Amino acid sequence: MSINRHKITRFKAFAIHIGISSAIFLCLLVLLLGYWYKTPFFDLEDGPRAIQIILFVDLVLGPLLTLVIFKPGKPGLKFDLSLIAIFQLSALIYGIWMVQLARPVAVIHAYDSLYIVSKNTMINSDIPEPVANKIIGLEPTYLYVNLPKERESFNTIIASSFREKRPIQLLYKYYEPLKLTDVEKLSAIAIDIRKYTAKNEEWSAKLDAFLERYKRSLDNTLFAPVRARRGQYFLVIDTAKGEIIDYLEIPYIPGMGIEARVVPYDKLLSDLP
Contact (CB, 8 A) for 132 and 123:
yes
Q: Please tell me which residue, 57 or 95, carries the higher pLDDT value.
A: 95
Nearest to 172 by CA among 136, 207, 215: 136
Cα(117)–Cα(129) distance, integer angstroms: 16
Residue 117 is predicted with a pLDDT of 95
| Over residues 1-18, mean pLDDT | 68
Cα(63)–Cα(54) distance, integer angstroms: 13
Q: Give me the residues paired with residue 162 across strands.
A: none
**Per-residue confidence at 272, pLDDT binned at 50, 70, 90?**
very low
Residue 1 is predicted with a pLDDT of 38
Residue 265 is predicted with a pLDDT of 61
Can the peptide bond before residue 48 be classed as cis, meaning omega within 30 degrees of 0?
A: no
Residue 246 is predicted with a pLDDT of 95
**Per-residue confidence at 53, pLDDT binned at 50, 70, 90?**
confident
Question: At what angle are helices 47-55 and 77-102 packed, to 10 degrees?
Answer: 170
Cα(135)–Cα(144) distance, integer angstroms: 12
Residue 65 is predicted with a pLDDT of 76
Residue 85 is predicted with a pLDDT of 81
Segment 214-240, tens digit of pLDDT = 999 998 999 999 999 999 999 999 999
- Is the per-residue pLDDT at 172 higher than 80? yes
Nearest to 8 by CA among 60, 61, 66, 64: 66
109 C-beta neighbours (distance < 10 Å), count: 22
**Per-residue confidence at 109, pLDDT binned at 50, 70, 90?**
very high
Residue 267 is predicted with a pLDDT of 59
The H or E element that residue 196 is part of is helix 193-197
Q: Percent of the chain scored above 70 by pLDDT?
A: 94
